[in-house]
Chains A and B, each alone.
Chain A
Amino acid sequence: MLFSFRKKKDDFSYLPSSDKSLSDLAQDRFDIPSLSHTLSGKLFLREELPLKSHQLETLQQEQFIQTIPSITTNPNHCRRCGNTQTSLFGEIPCARCNSTHIYCRNCIEMGRVLQCEELYYWTGPKPTYSIPNEICAWEGKLTGAQQLAADRICQTIDQAKEELLCWAVCGAGKTEMLFPAITKAIIAGKRICLATPRADVVRELFPRFQQAFPHITITALYGGAEKRDAPSQLTLATTHQLIRFADAFDVMIIDEIDAFPYHADPLLPYVTKRAATKQAAFIYLTATPRKELKLRSDNGKLPTVFVPIRYHGQPLPEPQFIISLNLKNTLENYGLPKTFWNWYHNRTQANRQLLIFVPTVDHSNQLSQTLQKQLPGQNIAAVHADDSEREEKIQQFRNKQLFILFSTTILERGVTFPSVDVVVLDAGHDVFDQAALVQIAGRAGRSADDPTGDVIFIHDGKTNAMIDAKRMISQMNQKARKL
């Protein structure tokens, strides 16, 4: 669970301490500053270390590199990813050590951890960074609400072990609010990590950060585009990539903290916590905090700053519930309910594009075909998670080459289209939880030119998730009116 951080399980005392100073011997033979940039703050397998065996030997004698056992037993525990699930440890008759022992199957995609191996950890001097004169090149101006949040974030990163929840509505302009704090942390020589559960968020943020911080080397880490180079002062990473890190970052910002799979996989909070230094400040960004986070915030245990208003100052579109009693039947026959057509023909702004969310991949594909037959003049497509043309279709929708796009929950967050109406078919389905529905509603009215949009939940019986989602949105709008 998210805030099991301080439980006994999250004991990182196995990490060797690092108070070794430079000896003459090592200084002569190695480029220590460059090595510390490459190696500091990470747990390495032997084959990942860019060192020859005699080099490694010297560095180990100097205690610049220390080792820890990779897997401890009784109970089994992978020291790299934190896995303790029995079914995710396998047995292997190992040809390296000629004995049968266990290995971790959980983090095997990042290189196999064998029990007979050790993990290598840099305990030499910490890296230092050269700090350019001009850091942030972003010239926009923050709105009042954004500035307030930005100030709180700045205060938080100054203090050791501080946490801050930044609860900002969809379209509040979260990224820009981070720029002042990141600038400040860079000047202070701190190492910053912006982690998020979703790779597409990293892909989207990377170019924006490169533009905002043109003189800073930024590392982007996500599966698929794995770069082996040293983590720089500013790292953007999926939370999954943090499996390799330990005691590395002074500021840990977690964007979309409520997104899948972070809340579903207890190992991700574990590695995220370990990747930060003991004194690190944590910033959590989200529009839809989950139960644990919300509870701590409501109880006053987690400092919270709200950004209840979008950057363009207009309130969030509130969802309308439309009941359609024979919805399940209609959808099973891959038809669209009458209520949908009633709404469709009476839309106030018929030129807005239409984003339709459906519960399953099957519905997405079939319904798009049905609708295409009924509206032969329009360009209609469907996307889902395993769609190889997903990126292209999203781009086409953005370019207005497509008029209607069917989607499963994959487009619930992280994508911005300027002017759309949003429909959820069968909003009562299990896949649409409160967070998903709030995020989906947050796709409408994103641009300052068209700051409103219809959000329609078609259902055959209200669920708690729907009611809670609507309540969360109207609460935010109330907060915004008080500003």
Chain B
Amino acid sequence: MECVWCNKKIYPNVTWSTFLYPEKLAPLCHSCQGELRWIERADCIDCGRQYKDGAKKESNRCQDCNRRRETSQQFLTKNRSVFQYNEQLQPMITKWKYRGDYCLIEAFRAPVQEGFKTYFSDLNADTIAVPIPLSPQRLQERAFNQAEAIAQLLPLPTCELLKRVHGEKQSKRSRKERLEASNPFQLFKSTNKPVLLIDDIYTTGTTLQQAAEILIQSGCPEVSSYTLAR
């Protein structure tokens, strides 16, 4: 089998035990896998941010989340993410999402499922997964929704509750523009079940907060979020 990222052949280890019970081959080769870094601790209990090693931790919430709490802009119960958005992951997500190399989801399958078990073991039993939608134009362009692809890896029922209005790509805006931008989402269907929002990258959290705001206002009891990277 070939590594989904570098396309080099992956050779299985042959020992007596793997000979008898063949290992399941990982989708990434050893060197590509090695560069991916998990987020190991949630230094901010709200957004799941991990400070750089050695950074001083003053409270268990980060500045952004504290500010949001003070202005009652905090709509998410919590956010958790799987990977650090580093130099290995960034080109992988770019190729997956913008170039549209759908198969790369295989590289994320096991980590996303494992992370879900770790972070959301206490999740309410009737929680539904809601992927952040793309605008119809963008969906046509990409031919798949990356958030939906992640949501389908989880053992939760997936539901489309939101619609997105076509606009500038989030990644093309500056931090300030993002924080000030008006809400791009509209309610499509309301729900009375708790919701887990799914997206690919958590940067400032604005997108997820905006989506959560709409869901909360329409009567959803609780909204958390889970992303592939931050």
Which residues of chain A have a CB within 8 Å of any CB of chain B?
A: 47, 87-88, 90-96, 103, 105, 108-109, 112, 114
The closest CB in chain B to the CB of A96 belongs to B143
Q: Is the CB of B144 within 8 A of A91?
A: no
Please name all residues of chain A whose beta carbon is closer than 8 Å to the beta carbon of B141 when the two chains form the complex. 47
The closest CB in chain B to the CB of A117 belongs to B143
A112 to B1, CA, bound (A): 23
Q: Which of A95, A103, A109 contacts B139 (CB 8 A)?
A: A95
A91 to B149, CA, bound (A): 13
Which residues of chain B have a CB within 8 Å of any CB of chain A?
A: 1-2, 7, 95, 99-103, 139-145
Q: Is the CB of A92 within 8 A of B99?
A: no
Q: Is the CB of B100 within 8 A of A93?
A: no
Please name all residues of chain A whose beta carbon is closer than 8 Å to the beta carbon of B7 when the two chains form the complex. 87-88
Please name all residues of chain B whose beta carbon is closer than 8 Å to the beta carbon of A112 when the two chains form the complex. 99-101, 143
The closest CB in chain A to the CB of B106 belongs to A90
The closest CB in chain B to the CB of A109 belongs to B99
Q: Is the CB of B101 within 8 A of A105?
A: yes
A87 to B101, CA, bound (A): 13
The closest CB in chain A to the CB of B102 belongs to A92
Q: Is the CB of A93 within 8 A of B144?
A: yes
Q: Sort A-B residue pairs by CB-CB distance and give the 5 closest, nearest first.
A: A90-B103, A92-B102, A112-B100, A87-B2, A94-B143
A105 to B141, CA, bound (A): 17
With known contacts A105-B101, A105-B103, A114–B143 Cβ distance under 8 A = yes
A103 to B101, CA, bound (A): 8
The closest CB in chain A to the CB of B141 belongs to A47
Q: Is the CB of B103 within 8 A of A95?
A: no
A114 to B101, CA, bound (A): 11
B2, B99, B143 interface centre (most CB from chain A within 10 Å):
B143
Q: Is the CB of A108 within 8 A of B144?
A: no
Q: 16 A-B Cβ contacts within 8 A?
A: A47-B141, A87-B1, A88-B7, A90-B101, A90-B102, A91-B102, A92-B100, A92-B144, A95-B140, A95-B143, A103-B100, A105-B101, A108-B100, A112-B99, A112-B101, A114-B143
The closest CB in chain A to the CB of B140 belongs to A96
Shortest C-beta distance, A243 to chain B (Å), equals 15
Shortest C-beta distance, A110 to chain B (Å), equals 9
Please name all residues of chain A whose beta carbon is closer than 8 Å to the beta carbon of B103 when the two chains form the complex. 90-92, 105
The closest CB in chain B to the CB of A110 belongs to B99
Shortest C-beta distance, A85 to chain B (Å), equals 9
Please name all residues of chain B whose beta carbon is closer than 8 Å to the beta carbon of A94 when the two chains form the complex. 143-144
Please name all residues of chain A whose beta carbon is closer than 8 Å to the beta carbon of B145 when the two chains form the complex. 95
Please name all residues of chain B whose beta carbon is closer than 8 Å to the beta carbon of A105 when the two chains form the complex. 101, 103
A95 to B144, CA, bound (A): 6
A175 to B143, CA, bound (A): 45
A112 to B104, CA, bound (A): 14
A114 to B144, CA, bound (A): 12
A90 to B100, CA, bound (A): 11
Please name all residues of chain B whose beta carbon is closer than 8 Å to the beta carbon of A103 when the two chains form the complex. 100, 102
The closest CB in chain B to the CB of A114 belongs to B143
Please name all residues of chain B whose beta carbon is closer than 8 Å to the beta carbon of A109 when the two chains form the complex. 99
Q: Is the CB of B99 within 8 A of A108?
A: yes
Please name all residues of chain A whose beta carbon is closer than 8 Å to the beta carbon of B95 when the two chains form the complex. 108
A103 to B95, CA, bound (A): 14
Shortest C-beta distance, A223 to chain B (Å), equals 13
Shortest C-beta distance, B138 to chain A (Å), equals 10
The closest CB in chain A to the CB of B99 belongs to A108
Please name all residues of chain A whose beta carbon is closer than 8 Å to the beta carbon of B144 when the two chains form the complex. 92-95
Shortest C-beta distance, A102 to chain B (Å), equals 10
The closest CB in chain A to the CB of B9 belongs to A87
A421 to B103, CA, bound (A): 49
Known: A95-B145, A108-B99, A112-B101; 11 extra A-B contacts, CB below 8 A, are: A87-B2, A91-B102, A91-B103, A92-B144, A93-B102, A94-B144, A95-B140, A95-B144, A103-B100, A105-B103, A112-B99
